[in-house]
Structure 1
Amino acid sequence: MLDALTLDQLRVFVTVAESGSFRSGAARLFRVQSAISHAIANLEAELGVALFDRGGHRPVLTAEGHALLANARDILLRIDVMRARARSLGEGVELELSLTVDTLFPAAVVGKALSEMRVAYPDVSIRLAVEPLGGPPTALIEKRSTLSLLVGENFRDPRIAQEAICAVKQVAVVSSNHPLGQWPKDEKIGVPDLADHLQIVLTDPSPLSDGRSFGVLSPQTCRVSSQDAKHAMIVAGLGWGRLPLWQVERDLRDGRLVRIASKALGRNSEIASEAYLAHRIDQPLGPAAEAFRHALMRSAAGI
């Protein structure tokens, strides 16, 4: 009967499927291999289907195993959420609030929200990291941060809950001394023209974007590891690229940078991306994190 299923059997099933063998699953769970084999055999007997084909060198998921693996993962995730909620009911205020922020998000808005949180919880320490692209979601997946601020739609994950808070505008800019910055006003810049010039591009510190490029139009690129470096290279006239509007407003006003006159880069060379406050669904927010969340919503309202 299915009532005899245990969470331990499901956890063993998922671990073996993810590790690729009974031996690797046993090592990951710190058990002997015979115990792992016994747990899988009992689960198969309870379900009435074979989960693994054991005919080869390594066990391979059967069609039934593939179909039921998603259910097993979902059940375990829901149990983890329940445990986390129960744990939060018995715990007080966090000792530390760890936060990873997308480099596109305005730091001043984060600072204002953290300052408000500290008024209510002055004893809570803060650990803040600023990372591009896949850095913020990876910090959540690896449990290095309680909260992350993500910009854009490129890194969705079922383990992460996201709440939209505001839009972040990015502008395609270039130095006013660069050839693209001195383009005749009566001529539009096309993609072939952009491809003739070096594009300054951020690199991703995480593996989430392996084999993927975001907004790269030129075969000539200069890849940098920080938003500040990207900004400095564009101001210096090395190449062109997109930067958040909050970072370049003064440069545009003072004439150091100009918008690139190309509709291929958005209306008025501008695009808007949604920003999200995110956390793991199995790690509910504590009082300080909730206070920061509410303060951030207020602080971001004026963006």
Structure 2
Amino acid sequence: MLDALTLDQLRVFVAVAETGSFRAAAVRLRRVQSAVSYAIAGLESELGVSLFDRTGRRPELSANGRALLAHAKAMLLDADALRAHARALGEGLEPRLDLALDPQFPLPFAAAALRSLHSAYPTVQVQTWTAPLGAAIAALQERRCTLAVTAADIPDPAIDLDFLCDLPRAAVASAGHPLADWARRKAPLKRRELAGHLQIVVPDPSALTAGQDFGVLSPGTWRVSDNETKRALIVGGVGWGNLPLWLVQDDLAAGRLVRLPVAEFAPSGETYVRVFVACRADVALGPAARLLVDRLREVSGEHRPS
């Protein structure tokens, strides 16, 4: 039975083991040495084993003591985590945070922000999913998420938008696609040249932008659910399309993709999309959500074009 075992006894045990003496442990713990000796004796009595060999000038961990030290440290860490979690709950810490993430937003940015969140609040559970165009705003409207990172500037007084960054997108095709010849000649590509070539697009799965097309110039389109599928089809030579520059930088560097000089875009086929972090105006964000918003601002600000 370990009913009389206390965390204080474990802290004294760890202090003696780490400092190498009862006197040094007493100094660390700001106690008299007799109190340290008493705590160790009580712990040994409760556990029914000797933790230290006291035959020498300094106490040495016994075999039993060495075997139990790591477990004692783990119990103290668990206790400290329990206190921290209780403190955070008292401050309104969210047990869970749902994040709708626009596929335009660089995943390394999101990962860096979420890593900071987990480091600060390891008990908070996070669910994130891809939500292109109006889908992220719809998720907020329907209260299916706490925060959204979105490129859809859809007016809604119930939704607060906070600017994060402008992200570059590139019009691209595979190096073997017929449109690649236009890229090599640097001749402007107009709608009539694009008309005979399939464009790969990601449609808005929500109804918020029904009937609207964004950057669709070819009459023939294939629609896919996400940018990774879109990228794979473009690299495979199925068609051309716009993709976030961060997603295709390696393909461009390796020569798998080439930029298309689409006349309605910049000469390099580059456009920009404005990205926001969004939340409901009628819901107060908790500590975890506030930290995540701050970190998203930081990582986005570090990479904003000058």
Smaller-chain TM-score range?
Answer: 0.5 to 0.7
Aligned to 1:175: 174
Q: Matches of residues 1-303 of structure 1 in structure 2 within 5 Å?
A: 92-153=92-153, 155-183=154-182, 185=185, 187-303=187-303
CA gap of 1:222–1:125, structure 2 versus 1, over 3 A, is: same
Runs of 4+ in 1 over 3 A off after TM superposition: none
Q: CA deviation at 1:292?
A: 0.7
Distance 2:142 2:187 in 1: 49
What SS class does the counterpart of residue 208 from structure 2 fall into?
A: helix
Deviation at 1:273, TM superposition (A): 1.5
* Aligned counterparts of 1:224 and 1:91: Cα–Cα separation in 2: 43
| Equivalent pair of 1:202/1:227 in contact (CA under 8 Å) | yes
Note the C-alpha offset of 1:134.
1.2
Inter-partner Cα distance in structure 1 for 2:247 and 2:292: 23
State the identity as a percent.
Answer: 41
TM-score, length of structure 1 as denominator length? 0.68
For residues 186 and 214 of structure 1, the distance between their equivalents in structure 2, rounded to whole angstroms, comes to 24
2:105 maps to amino acid: F
Specify the alignment match of 2:26 in structure 1.
none
| AA matched with 1:164 | F
SS in 1 for 2:247: helix
Structure 2 counterpart of 1:123, which letter? T
> Aligned to 2:264, what secondary structure does the other structure show?
helix
RMSD of aligned residue pairs (Cα, Å): 1.6
Cα deviation for residue 301 of structure 1 reads 2.0
Shift of 1:152: 4.4
Q: Structure 1 unaligned runs (5+)?
A: 1-89
- Residues 213-249 of structure 1: CA distance to partner in whole angstroms, max 9, x if unpaired? 1111111001111111111111001111000000000
TM superposition shift of 1:91? 6.0
TM-score, normalized by length of structure 2?
0.67
8 Å CA contact 1:262, 1:269 repeated in 2: yes
Report the CA distance between 1:174 and its aligned residue: 0.5
Contact 1:100–1:128, Cα closer than 8 Å, also in 2: yes
Distance of aligned partners of 1:274 and 1:215 in 2 relative to their CA distance in 1, 3 Å threshold: same
Query: SS state of the match for residue 268, structure 1?
Result: coil
In 2, Cα distance between equivalents of 1:96 and 1:186: 50
1:172 and 1:270 in contact (8 A); partners too: yes
2:234 and 2:127 map into 1 onto residues whose CA distance is 30
AA partner of residue 205 (structure 2): P
Aligned equivalents of 1:262 and 1:217: distance in 2? 10
Counting matched residue pairs gives 214
Q: What is the SS of the residue equivalent to 1:164? A: strand
CA offset at residue 186 of structure 1? 5.5
CA–CA separation in structure 2 for the residues paired with 1:145 and 1:273: 22
Amino acid at match of 2:247: Q
SS of residue in 1 equivalent to 2:294: helix
User: Structure 1, residues 36-57: CA drift from partner, whole Å, max 9, x if none?
Assistant: xxxxxxxxxxxxxxxxxxxxxx
Larger relative contact order, structure 1 or 2 (CA cutoff 8 Å, min sep 6): 1
Q: Which has the larger radius of gyration?
A: 2
Which moves more between the two structures, 263-272 or 143-152? 263-272
Cα distance in 2 for partners of 1:235, 1:171 equals: 14
| Residue 156 (structure 1) shift | 2.5
Structure 2 segments unaligned to the other structure (5+ residues): 1-89
Q: Is the 8 A contact 2:132 2:150 kept in 1?
A: no
* Contact 1:152–1:273 (Cα < 8 Å) also in 2: no
Deviations 1:90-148 (A, max 9, x none): 86100011100001111111111011111111111101111211111011001000000
- Tell me the SS of whatever aligns to 1:99: strand
Whole-angstrom CA distance in 2 between matches of 1:185 and 1:302: 35
CA distance, structure 2, for counterparts of residue 255 and residue 97 of structure 1: 40
Preserved contact between residue 151 and residue 168 of structure 1 (Cα < 8 Å): no
- State how far apart, in whole Å, the 1-side matches of 2:162 and 2:226 are: 25
CA contact (8 A) 1:259 1:268 kept: yes
